[in-house]
Amino acid sequence: MPMADTETRARRDWADWSRNRRSYVLAWGLPTALLIVGIFLPAPVRTVVWAGALVWNGVACIANAARCGRTHCHITGPFFLIMAAVTVAHGTGVVSFGGLGWWWIGVAIAVGTIALWLVSERHFGKFLAYNRSR
């Protein structure tokens, strides 16, 4: 492997927030815990908690994608923001997904996150193009 590739990989790994336990917990662990806690809250509170956690996750992913080029963050960031909008739409009654609506949203978040992460990184690799000037 050429030296430039090794340096680029090291720089990407260093810049990737998911490589550091503290930044991972702050960026994704805490909001994921809020999503889980939100399952047990009344629907109006769940709407706020889930929407906030999903926006938090989405912004963290978009920032991490810009920071290190992590492949799945380019996709999961917007996905989390869309799911936040879906959560608010369902929670406020603008859209109804029926009696199991919260269950469907929760499953979509969990399965979507895992699928987007695994498929994108297996297909495109761990990192997309990286700005060498950083």
Report the alpha-carbon distance of residue 20 to residue 88 in Å, rounded. 31
**Once rounded to an integer, what is the mean pLDDT over residues 98-118?**
97
Q: pLDDT by residue (tens digit) across 94-107?
A: 999 999 999 999 99
Q: 105 and 87 in contact (C-beta within 8 Å)?
A: yes
pLDDT band at 132 (very low <50, low <70, confident <90, very high): very low
Q: 70 - beta bridge partners? A: 127
Q: pLDDT by residue (tens digit) across 34-68?
A: 999 999 999 999 999 999 999 999 999 999 898 88
**Once rounded to an integer, what is the mean pLDDT over residues 81-99?**
97
Report the alpha-carbon distance of residue 38 to residue 14 in Å, rounded. 32
Taking every pair of Cα atoms in the chain, the longest distance, rounded to a whole number of angstroms, is 57
pLDDT of residue 96: 96
Q: What is the pTM of this model?
A: 0.84
CA dihedral defined by 31, 49, 51, 89, rounded to 10 degrees?
150
Residues shown for the chain: 134
Q: pLDDT by residue (tens digit) across 16-32?
A: 777 778 888 888 899 99
